[in-house]
Structure 1
Amino acid sequence: MSANELSAALWRERELLELLAFKLEEEHLLLTAGRTRWLPYATREVEQVVERLSGASLARSIAATTLAELWRAPHDATLRQLIEHAPDETWREILTGHLAALTELTGQIRELRDGNERFLRQAARSAEETLAATDGLGDRYDASGGQTASARGGDLFVKDL
């Protein structure tokens, strides 16, 4: 493998990270719009991109390990270490560009992921508070569909004994 192959693997990983950022942004838009009907589809798409990223990451690792041997870097060299061991300025610049783009994309993804998680936690907390506020209010229904005075909070149906 050559530096060209590592660069191609890094490009592929960058494309998948951009796709992941897009999918997380879609998920965020669905959440904020209250369009939860489509949320399972968006979540599945995020998971599919993450799975593809795993394969791309493996391909990048293999290319990096092979290149590390060629450039006399540690066999488990990071991208930063490969930059330090690059034989010429051109490859240092190319790999530095990849590193900067990957760092920026992972930061964006982390921010989107954390924002979506916060939104989901807030929505769950709001739903719990709403349920707690309505607990014990109003009439309940028995097995025949008739109304009965609520004797116990939290029961939606009261069985005929």
Structure 2
Amino acid sequence: MSVNDLSAVLWRERELLELLTFKLEEEQLLLTAGRSRWVSHASREVEQVLDRLRSTGLERAAQSAEVAEEWGVAADAPLREVVAAAPNGPWGEILTAHLTAMVELTTQIGALRDENDRFLRAAALATEETLAGTVSGAATYDASGTSGSGSDGARLFDGSL
């Protein structure tokens, strides 16, 4: 039964969206705690979940096309149209619940992604400013032919940056 298969794929996709939400929150916690050492690991995990979501999305599209044809809808119709064409019975409610949950999760994921992006930009800017403070300005030559470079003294770095 292809509607059952579509519902199973939608469940898997919802679980992956929830996992992605968790991974993005995990990444955000690392960023806010200043644990930059682990951010690359968290980002890699986010990418792995995104890869799994892409393949599940392809599977969903195939199942959705099959169900759409059964219900007299164009095979390339979006999931929302397929759900709207569901015959009377439990499948309409089940698929609507899937769609609603997926829209909510997608909204949460977008907000988390935007927040994490702001944190990453702020961290990159702080790093650039710190590094810019360690490099002396552009040296120019004076009338005697020597450059006006700054002192070559020792510099201290905060290892947690």
Alignment map for 1:1-161 (pairs within 5 Å): 1-136=1-136, 151-152=148-149
Q: TM-score, normalised by structure 2?
A: 0.82
Alpha-carbon distance in 1 for matches of 2:40, 2:153: 28
Pick 1 or 2: higher relative contact order, CA cutoff 8 A, min separation 6. Answer: 2
Alpha-carbon distance in 1 for matches of 2:151, 2:76: 58
Residues 17 and 156 (structure 1), Cα distance of their counterparts in 2 relative to 1, 3 Å cut: farther
Given that residues 79 and 95 in structure 1 are in contact (C-alpha distance below 8 angstroms), is that contact kept between their aligned partners in structure 2? no
Give 1 or 2: higher strand fraction: 1
Residues 85 and 127 (structure 1), Cα distance of their counterparts in 2 relative to 1, 3 Å cut: same
Amino acid at match of 2:103: T
Q: TM-score, normalised by structure 1?
A: 0.82
Alpha-carbon distance in 2 for matches of 1:7, 1:69: 16
Amino acid at match of 2:70: L
Unaligned 5+ segments in structure 1 are 138-149
Alpha-carbon distance in 2 for matches of 1:153, 1:72: 77
* Deviation, structure 1 residue 83: 1.7
Alpha-carbon distance in 2 for matches of 1:66, 1:152: 71
Percent identical pairs in the alignment equals 58
* Deviation, structure 1 residue 95: 1.1
Structure 1 runs of 4+ off > 6 angstroms? Answer: 154-157
CA RMSD of aligned residues (A): 2.3
Alpha-carbon distance in 2 for matches of 1:155, 1:71: 76
Alpha-carbon distance in 1 for matches of 2:10, 2:82: 13
